[in-house]
Amino acid sequence: MGFNSGFKGLKETIINKLLVFERKILRKIFGPKNENGVWRIKTNQELDEIIKRKNIINIIRAQRLSWLGHIERMQGTRMVKAIYFWKPISRRPIGRPKTRWVDDVRKDIQKLKVPNWKTLAQDRRRWKELVERAKTL
């Protein structure tokens, strides 16, 4: 994944569709299970144990956090960092605001219970550990 790592904002319906698709592919890869001569498909829990909870949504979450750490460590003169902090001057349309990338990242940080994440992001080694932990949430 490149610049737009982690998509814009993942909605619940898209998350569910991705997880269903991933499980479908995993069932094809790992095949059925034979218990006492009877074949059956693997359950979702069995698939989670096989992949060690590193599903597609957690990988996307980790990519988002990785990119956030990269942005936080950038110099303030870089265009990407300027766009990250940019606030549009125009008025927002009426209705519920769309979920932004920043909103998803903030939820991820809250889910990981990371206090003072901006200073943590400056230390690459510790931030990478956090990203790895996000893969198994």
Express each pLDDT in 81-94 by its tens digit. Answer: 998 888 888 888 88
Domain assignment of residue 114, yes or no: yes
Residues 38 and 15 in one domain: yes
Cα distances (Å, whole numbers) of residue 32 to 26, 38, 40, 88:
10, 10, 5, 52
Q: Tell whether the model's pLDDT for residue 27 goes beyond 80.
A: yes
pTM of structure: 0.79
pLDDT for 11: 83
Q: Residue 115 is part of which domain span?
A: 54-86+100-137
Task: Take residue 44 and report the two structure tokens written for it.
Answer: 């979702």
One domain, residues 74 and 15: no
Residue 74 pLDDT = 93
